[in-house]
């Protein structure tokens, strides 16, 4: 039995490592194009972008690990089943699920490992990445500006830019809505950002254009002023909101502390906080749920093709995640108790796995 269990774990190891590496690569590549665009076209420091990539890893791992262990289970056990090795093992009188018990334990260990990942590492990385994005925005304001779209990043102003290359702008349109009055418009052929990071502001240097200026005799009307050079100071602080931790940026300890603070203020609507706590724990145990459903499914399907195994993994994960998001919505709205809503996807998946296990044992 020990030799067979060791053999099973060895069969599972390489598909898990390979699946994890491929998933991390694919998820990183999804962000790499935009990140390298910041370096090549927007002039952002490679060091800052590298830090941003590193901060993406905990979030990527939180999704990649459960999907990798599901893929590995389907691929490894599916191959053994397709080669009739499991039939031979069962014919020798060995119970398949007793034999596969170490794989279930591995799923549990992976889930326990995922708790600090989802509870501490991921929230810390999310918060640090938001601060880093703001730092990039202060040093290279044009980094997050898209040409051909209305930009509302700056307080009190709406900006439309036809061309952006690093900090150089072309064909700039700036609109400043006036409460109860007409919108002020500034037009320039060219522009350039001059960062003022210590004040959470940037200075926009506009070249060759015209500006609507308030009429001293009638502030609700403007007169047109042509200019060669015009400076406009833009506030990007956002009122300090970007520096506050969101619920997803907090650890379970911090969330519980916030619950106590709200209780002192006699605020009873704490469903979002309870939901976030259960969300971190439930998603951590998705690895165990995936192993429970993956084992009988691999035995039943008897597929050794890698693409079939990966396809099944993605299908199961998508179904799980849709149910997970549905439970989150119901929990936040108070329709379902968060302790049940956030664990619903794990419970459903594990239940399906147990039913399939009993069914395959009777075959």
DSSP string, 10-32: HHHHHHHHHHHHHHHHHHHHHHH
**Residue 71 within any structural domain of the chain:** yes
Same-domain status, 163 and 295: no
Choice among 10-24, 88-102, 184-198 with the minimum mean pLDDT: 88-102
Out of 210, 235, 260, pick the residue that ends a domain: 235
Query: Which band of pLDDT confidence, cut at 50, 70 and 90, is reported for residue 241?
Result: very low
Beta carbons of 239 and 144 less than 8 angstroms apart: no
**Residue 18 within any structural domain of the chain:** yes
**Residue 145 within any structural domain of the chain:** no
Alpha-carbon distance values, 241 to 9, 41, 203 (Å): 48, 28, 21
Alpha helices, H only, the chain: 2-40, 46-82, 85-91, 96-99, 101-116, 122-139, 252-264, 271-284, 286-301, 306-332, 338-341, 344-362
Q: What pLDDT, on a 0 to 100 scale, did the predictor assign at position 43?
A: 64
| Structural domain count of the chain | 2
Same-domain status, 227 and 163: yes
**Residue 173 within any structural domain of the chain:** yes
What is the per-residue pLDDT across 298-337, written as a single tens digit (0 to 9) for each? 877 655 555 555 677 788 889 999 999 999 888 888 888 8
Q: 172: closest CA among 236, 230, 235, 237?
A: 230
Q: What pLDDT, on a 0 to 100 scale, did the predictor assign at position 253?
A: 93
Same-domain status, 98 and 182: no
Same-domain status, 6 and 128: yes
Which token pair is 172? 């700039």
65/111 Cα distance (integer angstroms):
9
Model-level pTM?
0.74
Choice among 7-16, 28-37, 126-135, 219-228 with the minimum mean pLDDT: 28-37
**Residue 148 within any structural domain of the chain:** no
Same-domain status, 206 and 281: no
Query: Which band of pLDDT confidence, cut at 50, 70 and 90, is reported for residue 242?
Result: very low
**Residue 147 within any structural domain of the chain:** no
Q: What pLDDT, on a 0 to 100 scale, did the predictor assign at position 62?
A: 94
Q: What pLDDT, on a 0 to 100 scale, did the predictor assign at position 240?
A: 43
Q: Are strands 158-165 and 201-215 parallel, antiparallel or unpaired?
A: unpaired
144/49 Cα distance (integer angstroms):
13
Q: What pLDDT, on a 0 to 100 scale, did the predictor assign at position 114?
A: 94
59/79 Cα distance (integer angstroms):
31
Out of 176, 200, 235, pick the residue that ends a domain: 235
Handedness of CA 280, 284, 286, 288 (dihedral sign): negative
Beta carbons of 223 and 211 less than 8 angstroms apart: no
Q: 347: closest CA among 324, 316, 331?
A: 324
Same-domain status, 227 and 270: no
Same-domain status, 109 and 9: yes
Kindly state the average pLDDT of the residues 123-138. Answer: 81
Q: What pLDDT, on a 0 to 100 scale, did the predictor assign at position 39?
A: 67
Asked whether the predicted pLDDT for residue 123 surpasses 90, the reply is yes
Which of 44-58, 103-117, 229-243 is the most confident on average? 103-117
Q: Is 200 left (phi over 0), alpha (psi -120 to 50) or beta?
A: left
Asked whether the predicted pLDDT for residue 210 surpasses 70, the reply is yes
Range of the domain at 187: 154-235
Q: What is the mean pLDDT of the chain?
A: 81
Alpha-carbon distance values, 219 to 156, 179, 182, 202, 223 (Å): 17, 12, 10, 26, 10
Asked whether the predicted pLDDT for residue 109 surpasses 90, the reply is yes
What is the per-residue pLDDT across 54-98, written as a single tens digit (0 to 9) for each? 999 999 999 999 999 998 888 888 777 666 666 676 666 666 667
Q: CA triplet 127, 262, 277: central angle to 5 degrees?
A: 50
Asked whether the predicted pLDDT for residue 121 surpasses 50, the reply is yes
Out of 235, 262, 283, pick the residue that ends a domain: 235
What is the per-residue pLDDT across 28-47, written as a single tens digit (0 to 9) for each? 887 777 777 666 666 677 78
Same-domain status, 130 and 162: no
């Amino acid at each position: 039995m020990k030799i067979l269990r060791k053999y099973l774990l060895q069969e599972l190891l390489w598909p898990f490592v390979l699946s994890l590496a491929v998933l991390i690569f694919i998820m990183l590549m999804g962000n790499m194009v935009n990140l390298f665009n910041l370096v090549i076209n927007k002039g952002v420091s490679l060091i800052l972008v590298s830090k941003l990539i590193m901060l993406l890893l905990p979030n990527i791992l939180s999704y990649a690990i459960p999907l990798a262990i599901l893929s590995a289970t389907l691929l490894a056990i599916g191959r053994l089943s397709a080669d009739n090795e499991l039939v031979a093992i069962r014919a020798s009188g060995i119970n398949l699920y007793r034999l596969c018990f170490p794989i279930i334990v591995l799923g549990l260990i992976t889930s326990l490992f995922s708790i600090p990942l989802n509870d501490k590492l991921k929230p810390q990385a999310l918060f640090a990445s938001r601060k880093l994005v703001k730092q990039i925005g202060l040093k290279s304001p044009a980094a997050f500006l898209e040409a051909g779209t209305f930009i509302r990043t700056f307080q009190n102003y709406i900006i439309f830019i036809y061309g952006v290359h690093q900090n150089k702008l072309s064909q700039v349109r700036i609109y400043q809505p006036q409460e109860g009055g007409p919108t002020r418009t500034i037009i320039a052929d060219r522009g350039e950002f001059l960062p003022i990071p210590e004040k959470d502001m940037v200075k926009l240097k506009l070249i060759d254009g015209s500006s609507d200026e308030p009429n001293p005799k009638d502030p609700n009307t403007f007169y047109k002023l042509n200019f060669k050079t015009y400076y406009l100071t833009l506030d990007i602080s956002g009122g300090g909101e970007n520096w506050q931790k969101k619920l997803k940026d907090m650890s379970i300890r911090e969330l519980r502390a916030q619950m106590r603070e709200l209780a002192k203020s006699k605020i009873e609507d704490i469903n979002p906080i309870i939901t976030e706590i259960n969300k971190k724990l439930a998603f951590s145990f998705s690895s165990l749920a995936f192993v429970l459903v993956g084992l009988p499914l691999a035995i039943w399907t008897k597929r050794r093709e890698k693409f079939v195994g990966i396809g099944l993994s993605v299908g199961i994960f998508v179904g799980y995640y849709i149910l997970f998001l549905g439970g989150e919505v119901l929990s936040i709205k108070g329709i379902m108790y968060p302790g049940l809503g956030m664990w619903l996807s794990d419970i459903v998946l594990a239940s399906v796995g147990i039913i399939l296990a009993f069914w395959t044992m009777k075959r």
